[in-house]
A and B are shown apart, each in its own frame.
Chain A
Amino acid sequence: KAGVTQTPRYLIKTRGQQVTLSCSPISGHRSVSWYQQTPGQGLQFLFEYFSETQRNKGNFPGRFSGRQFSNSRSEMNVSTLELGDSALYLCASTRTGSREQFFGPGTRLTVL
């Protein structure tokens, strides 16, 4: 079974731009969670989607948003990028009824 895939793997943007990151979960997994990893703040939960609905949300500003499609693929969007948004963005998928989250390789976003 293929693992969680994330595209693109690397991204460079400038301040003020917006960006969309994509995550394809493991086949059959319907829950997708997103995390931001930075050296200063560590790993922080952004949001979780299940069956196209946002089920949980972390403490991030409204510039961070996401969505999930009927095939369980998920996207997250960051608008009006700031230097502090530079981070590794990780997504994880979970099988229904399980608590184990399986992570993708991440998208490294650099904001200049």
Chain B
Amino acid sequence: AQTVTQSQPEMSVQEAETVTLSCTYDTSENNYYLFWYKQPPSRQMILVIRQEAYKQQNATENRFSVNFQKAAKSFSLKISDSQLGDTAMYFCAFMPGAQKLVFGQGTRLTINP
């Protein structure tokens, strides 16, 4: 079975700090996609960043970057210069060949002023 594990249920940092959210996954597939989604209190799921497994280069989107370790099946998200608007639930998600997302349980991130 394909599973995604986020080991940090909650995290809290001060504004402007850097924070790293952890994610590991389990799969026997070689080609797949990984995503980080953000769900603020409004409950709207927002795509933060994506990574194709066949790409060795880590994805970056402005203040958001990932550390993708394929052999270790690890996909962590780093948020630099954190802002109050980054407060949200963050979900790591895995997509195998099919158009179907498998989500982790989420990390509740709070950015304090």
Contacts and interface: CB of A to CB of B under 8 A. Distances in A.
**Chain A binding surface, main DSSP class:** strand
A40 to B, nearest CB: 10
Interface size classification for chain A: 20 to 34
Given A56-B99, A99-B33, A42 B105 contact: yes
Contacts of B95: 99
Nearest to B104: A42
B106 A33 contact: no
A43 interface: yes
Interface of A: 31, 33, 35, 42-45, 48, 50, 55-56, 58, 88, 90, 92, 94, 99-103, 105-106
Interface of B: 33, 35, 37, 42-47, 50, 52, 91, 95, 98-106
